Amino acid sequence: MGDQLRLMTVHAHPDDESSKGAATCARYVAEGAEVMVVTCTGGEAGSILNPAMDRPEVLADMVGVRREEMRRAAEILGVEHRWLGFVDSGLPEGDPKPPLPEGCFALEPLEVPTEALVRVMREFRPHVVVTYDENGGYPHPDHIRCHEVSMAAWEACGDPDRFPEAGEPWQPLKLYYSHGFSKARIIAFHEALIAAGLESPWAEWLENWKDDRPDPGTRVTTRVRCAEYFPVRDRALLAHATQIDPNGRWFSMPIEMQQQVWPTEEYELARSLVGEQDDTESLVDGDLFSGVRERVLTS
């Protein structure tokens, strides 16, 4: 038996790891892989989205509260966790949009967070990396920066001439983009709720889905079956109590219905060093370690 399989997921803020690919992580942990979540910022600029947590003592220590929430979520998922230590940029709103705050993650020179991520990559030595696409999943400046940093670290991690003080070079074998709510998934949830005689919170979302809006579902190459771990995902989500309202849209559909209607999480293979993927990538029953298992576990 060779090395142990290792998966790293790179996220912008605490709670992103629980809303994007959490059930996949929980599945691989249960199967014996090592999984590490890297969080680029502390989420300091996040609004309180759960009315029950909108309290003075929470607002007074948002940094500490969000760090504790992240600790609990990582424990629930069974993953290792690292903070990169950068400052949340916030989501600029208004017309015209205000400038980003000085010193925030999105304004850091690219080399600075890239070196920080390379250092963690060379320490953990992941075989597979998951991050966001060039749109960040949605256009938050930290999500877009997370993509840029992840791609730069992928290129630099195995190069001994890049960041020589950041540890021994290590080259991951595959990189995926995590894709969340495709239009097809929202339609499937909406129709299932209506058919069951339940109110659907997705109708307004579908009505506002413009024809020119990109649909991440069209880019998916790999669907990972992980319905068994949806309850773990939901517990991790609820650990982020300032961000997740237990009475909100996330929990509008019974979990048994979710497991039946859409039992997978979706990914796009963006980089691979294990050869052609036509025979190993699957839109039905995919595996992020396809092509990697054979190398790692028999080496």
- Show the DSSP H helices in 31-140 as ranges: 56-60, 62-77, 111-124
Q: Are 18 and 46 in contact (CB under 8 A)?
A: no
Is 13 assigned to a binding site?
A: yes
Is 61 annotated for ligand binding? no
C-beta of residue 250 within 8 angstroms of C-beta of residue 271: no
143 marked as binding residue: yes
| Max CA separation in the chain (angstroms) | 61
SS3 letters across 240-274 = CCCCCCCCCHHHCCCHHHHHHHCCEEEEEEEEECC
Closest CA to 271 of 295, 291, 286: 291
Nearest-angstrom CA–CA distance, 152 and 160:
14
The neighbour count for residue 117, using CB atoms within 10 Å, is 27
Helix (H, G, I), strand (E, B) or coil at 24: helix
Which residues, in sequence order, are CB contacts of 118 under 8 Å at separation 6+?
A: 153, 156, 157, 162, 163, 166, 167
Q: At what angle do helices 230-239 and 22-30 cross, to 10 degrees?
A: 120
Residue numbers belonging to the annotated binding site: 13, 16, 143
Residues annotated in a binding site for Zn(2+):
13, 16, 143
